A = this chain, B = another copy of it.
Amino acid sequence: MNKVDKRSLKESNIIDVAEKVFAKRGFDNTKMEDIAAVLGISKGTIYFYFNSKENLYMAITYRAYEQLISLFHRTIHESKDLNGLETVMNIMRAFMDFSEEHYIYGEAMLNYYSFVRTTGQGAKLNKLTEGMKDSLYYQKVMSIQGTPVEITVKEIMRGVEDGSIRTGVKPQMIYLNAWALVIGFMKLNDTAVSKKQTIMKINVQDWKQYILEETRNMIKS
């Protein structure tokens, strides 16, 4: 294994662990020490690979986007024989599963999105600070952050063209709404800690099913 591979393998290992620890304790309540301890290495080593806690978090964010994008691509590929509506529904189902499985990814992407949208307000409102913008990972995320919408919007438009999705609603609106639903589902379900099966006496899987069905009704032509 060459140096580059070795390095990125190690980085990857660190992210693997950091992900879990951040997911369990939250960003502010996680100490670099905690992550290092789980890894069995020293704090210094983490700083050798990532230059700050924020940057490490940003690396996770990058991975979140990468994985989401690849998930979307895979889903689209697998749905290539289906019409636009079915494809979009498959994407949304995949998105929900993804959020359930990787709470931290959902969080990270939301965080990034808010940060970018509200930045320049001065203070440190987010876990992210202005200085973050110089980080390499920040840049990398910036470059791919728009992809999920783009590719989904494309499928929505395909659905409109093939007549499976209704006209009159902007594709972005559909995406936004779906994302909001995923976020609300994730937050109320709080998949970070609990694997509780019910919420307000409603079975979580039933709810998920309901969300998908209603979304379908909402967008189908």
Contacts and interface: CB of A to CB of B under 8 A. Distances in A.
Given A29-B124, A180-B184, A184-B183, A194 B24 contact: no
Contact of A184 (B125, B182, B194, B206): B182
B114 A173 contact: no
Nearest to A192: B125
Contact of A123 (B173, B176, B193, B206): B193
A113 B188 contact: yes
B200 A175 contact: yes
Interface stretch (A61-69, A72-80, A209-217): A209-217
Contacts of A207: 173, 176-177
Sorting the interface of chain A by its residue count into under 10, 10 to 19, 20 to 34 or 35 or more gives 35 or more
A179 interface: yes
Contacts of A123: 24-25, 29, 192-193
Interface string A100-123: 000000000010011001100101
Contacts of A176: 188, 199-200, 202, 207
Given A117-B199, A125-B26, A183 B173 contact: no
A154 interface: no
A114 B194 CA distance: 9
Interface of A: 24-26, 28-29, 110, 113-114, 117-118, 121, 123-126, 149, 169-170, 172-173, 175-177, 179-185, 187-188, 190, 192-194, 196, 199-202, 206-207, 210-211, 214, 217-218
